[in-house]
């Protein structure tokens, strides 16, 4: 049975840089306040009506495919992770297929909606397909365009300051080298506190998580107008919502647990890790996890300072930057780990 290896990797971030000082122009916040709580200095925003999660994913894919030594036409399956799709439906997988010009082969496209842990989940699926001998060139993408769905008022500052846009992609291929590639993957979830990190609407919850409203019997058009323009905005359900303290508490517990689970499964120790790339949700979380595991600075890669939280895209972007900077080398033991909305979390251990 072959192992799955990352044969090529690429990323794309938009040109527009938005600093903390830029946010200060539209909301009551400060550079010091944002840095102290998250470590973020700046983030990237895509060009409105020109760039989308799909176009950014395509740009990252082309780099990854070239580095893998293949043409995009050789991709035989697509796994697309995002929480900010171009459309409510269809998913971005088929849109990316079209954007890459590979519709003639009619390959399968799968969409993953696991938010911050989306790339980990997607990579795990690719790993199983490769080991089963089903596909040979799987494209795994994480791409996000948060800037189109954030609350840029003072009310939304605690969340809006955290997020940015970008995309990362990898080509996953089989390898007969038993000592290389993805060694193990571990996935978990607990939906108990699902609404504590969520965007409730649009959805089919029938107003379950909104205050009771007596609409009477208006026309369909009137109902749509009342629901969308009044209730969703008024109750903030159309914007991301987060209980930051709860998320922090859960994350700093589950991150180390799932990392140690991967090491235990493979008979390795935390000292064997050459590079840990955590999901870039908050620099304070990453630093807490680093301290818990006792890893030195040179064994943990963070770039949230430059890009903010790009959810499903954060790990492939960080992995690509670490590799490009020579911090991930042949034979290195690389650990990827994420925790986020759902709650869902997971880890992937790779011998590069």
Give the E-state strand segments of 122-195 in sequence order. Answer: 138-144, 166-175, 181-189
Give the E-state strand segments of the chain in sequence order. Answer: 3-12, 16-19, 42-45, 77-81, 108-112, 138-144, 166-175, 181-189, 197-198, 241-242, 275-278, 333-340, 344-351
Query: Which residue from 305, 321, 314, 6 is spatially nearest to 140, judged by alpha carbons?
Result: 6
Exposure of 113 by Cβ count < 10 A (0-12 exposed, 13-18 middle, 19+ buried)?
A: middle
- Which residue is catalytic, options 186, 309, 320, 335? 309
Structural contact between residues 211 and 234, judged by C-beta atoms closer than 8 angstroms: no
Any catalytic annotation for residue 309?
yes
Burial pattern 185-217, b for ≥16 Cβ within 10 A else e, equals bbbbeeeeeeebbbbbbeeeeebeebeeeeeee
Residues 6+ apart with CB under 8 A from 72: 61, 62, 65, 100, 101, 102
Q: Give, as one character, the DSSP assignment of residue 101.
A: T
- Which residue is catalytic, options 116, 302, 303, 335? 116
- Which residue is catalytic, options 186, 279, 282, 302? 279
Query: Between 283-293 and 244-266, two packed helices, what is the crossing angle to 10 degrees?
Result: 40
Neighbours of 128 (CB within 10 A): 12
Any catalytic annotation for residue 279?
yes
Any catalytic annotation for residue 49?
no
End-to-end CA distance of the chain: 18
Write down the residue that tokens 């193990």 correspond to: 184
**Alpha-helical segments (H) within 83-232:** 92-100, 118-131, 157-160, 220-225
**Beta bridge mates, 9:** 170
Residue 63: φ, ψ to 5°? -70, -45
Residue 68: φ, ψ to 5°? -85, -10
Catalytic residues: 116, 279, 309
């Amino acid at each position: 049975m072959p192992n799955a290896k990352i044969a090529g990797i690429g990323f794309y971030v938009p040109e527009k840089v938005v600093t903390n000082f830029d946010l200060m122009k539209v909301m009551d916040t400060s550079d010091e306040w944002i840095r102290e709580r998250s470590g973020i200095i700046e983030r990237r925003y895509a060009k409105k009506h020109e760039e989308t999660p799909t176009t950014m994913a395509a740009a990252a894919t082309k780099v990854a495919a070239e580095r893998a030594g293949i043409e995009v036409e050789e991709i035989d399956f697509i796994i697309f992770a995002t929480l900010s799709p171009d459309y409510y439906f269809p998913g971005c997988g088929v849109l990316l297929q079209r954007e890459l010009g590979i519709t003639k082969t009619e390959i399968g496209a799968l969409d993953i909606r696991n938010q911050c842990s989306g790339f980990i989940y997607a990579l795990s699926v690719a790993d199983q397909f490769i080991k089963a001998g089903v596909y040979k060139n799987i494209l795994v993408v994480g791409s996000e365009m948060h800037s189109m769905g954030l609350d840029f008022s003072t009310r939304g500052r605690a969340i809006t300051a955290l997020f940015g846009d970008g995309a990362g992609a990898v080509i996953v291929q089989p390898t007969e080298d038993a000592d290389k590639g993805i060694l193990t993957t571990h996935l978990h979830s607990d939906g108990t506190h699902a609404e504590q990190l969520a965007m409730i609407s649009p959805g089919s919850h029938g107003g379950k998580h909104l205050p009771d409203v007596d609409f009477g019997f208006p026309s369909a058009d009137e109902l749509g107008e009342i629901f969308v323009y009044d209730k969703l905005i008024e109750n903030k359900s159309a914007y991301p919502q987060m209980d930051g303290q709860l998320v922090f508490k859960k994350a700093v517990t589950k991150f180390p647990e799932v990392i140690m689970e991967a090491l235990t499964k493979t008979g390795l120790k935390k000292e064997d890790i050459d590079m840990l790339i955590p999901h870039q949700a908050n620099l304070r979380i990453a630093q807490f996890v680093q301290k818990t595991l006792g890893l030195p600075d040179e064994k943990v890669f963070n770039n949230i300072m430059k890009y903010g939280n790009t959810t499903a895209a954060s790990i492939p972007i960080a992995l690509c930057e670490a590799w490009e900077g020579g911090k991930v080398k042949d034979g290195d033991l690389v650990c990827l780990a994420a925790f986020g909305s759902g709650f869902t979390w997971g880890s992937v251990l790779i011998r590069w």
